[in-house]
Structure 1
Amino acid sequence: MEEHSETAPELAGRRLKLRALRQEDSGALLHCWSHPEAAYWLGIKPLVSKAEAEELIRLLLEMEREEESLRWSIELTSGEVIGSCGYNNWQLTGAFRGEVGCELSPAFWGQGYMREALTLALRYGFEEMKLNRVEAQCLPANLRSGRMFASLGFRREGTLREYRHTPSGFQDVDLYALLRRDWRDL
């Protein structure tokens, strides 16, 4: 039986759609997760096999079943999967806060695909999940991601010092946040 998401709704954009993460995406996502530069920005050791990608997808789907994560595959209108995005965690009771995460195969960087994908995910987060605040984290040196978050209305709130432990040691991350009231103004 093919393992796939039971809760991630399909969201359609102009050039892509967000659809449920599936085990059959492991080959395409391995291209992203195994690329040294993409893995560096994610703070992970590059994956080296399709089996590792399948295991990561299995883990993400398990977290989704436990309502700790909601992840979509980013699929072009051609059917090609080029990355993933979604909510790494959220808190609906009380805080109504979520954290968005994303990655894209480097061949597709700088073409506006992630901005389009996150626009869909943010709309879902604010309208359907009823989030009040969405946070994003990126390395201070990841200027491209920082500019993208700013273009979506996120504000940089500061640097979390040595926040992440990675294969290369502790890393600072910049914290960005977008409030529902600011999103509505876009």
Structure 2
Amino acid sequence: MFVCGGNIPQLEGNRIQLRRMQAEDSRSLFECWSKQEVREYSGIPELESIDAATEMIQFLNALSETEDGVRWGIVNKQNREWIGSCGFNTWQLEGAYRGEIGCELSSLYWGQGYMGEAIELLLQYGFQEMGLHRIEALVDTRNERASRLFATQHFQMEGILRDYRHTDEGYHDVHMYSLLVRDWLLEHMETPQ
């Protein structure tokens, strides 16, 4: 059975690396989360300082120790820059074998395929290492960019969860996207490696 216990393994893609976030990522996290276009539909908080970003990194890393979540920093392998984060916000093994993923990327890197590569690494880890049967993503219905991303990754949009998230603006609906392990395996058998 999968046990996280604070272990955040390094995952390697072609252009990115997913790794445990570190204190030296604080400035990049602060700059990323300070941009309204990044926070707009994600529900992530605006950080007041680089110190607050350092505290956020400590909080996110601690989630893996209590097995309440696991978050990776996304690093561009070419220039070693932190460009975003992604991970499992929650998961349940026995009785469900499902997990929910979340992600954000610095707007400087939008539209270049980095998040698609990060999602693929999450899917591989979730299905092969964690033993998940179903991976979900909750996307604000106004977030067309994220909806396209998950559709490209072969997630199915199952419906709308009404007034699911509360923000300073009020309640917002989200789309429920999911991908099952059998669909992911079928896609990988059809795609030449």
TM-score normalised over the length of structure 1: 0.94
Question: For the residues of structure 1 that align with 2:21 and 2:6, how far apart are their CA atoms?
Answer: 9
CA deviation after TM superposition for structure 1 residue 6, in Å: 4.2
Large movers: runs of 4+ above 3 Å: none
TM-score normalised over the length of structure 2: 0.91
Structure 2 stretches lacking a partner, 5+ long: 188-193
1:45-103 superposed Cα distances (whole Å, 9 cap, x missing partner): 42231122112212111211100111110001121000000000100111000000000
Could you tell me which residue of structure 1 aligns to residue 43 of structure 2? 43
Cα RMSD for the two superposed structures: 1.3
Correspondence list, 1:1-186, <5 A: 6-77=6-77, 78-186=79-187
What is the identity, as a one-letter code, of the residue corresponding to 1:15?
R
1:99-122 superposed Cα distances (whole Å, 9 cap, x missing partner): 000000011111110000110111
Structure 1 stretches lacking a partner, 5+ long: none
Three-state SS of the structure 1 residue aligned to 2:41 is helix
For these two proteins, the number of residue pairs brought into alignment is 182
**Retained in 2: the 8 A contact 1:30–1:50?**
yes
**Retained in 1: the 8 A contact 2:163–2:173?**
yes
1:134-181 superposed Cα distances (whole Å, 9 cap, x missing partner): 000111111111111011110001111110111221111111000001
Identity of aligned residues (%): 48
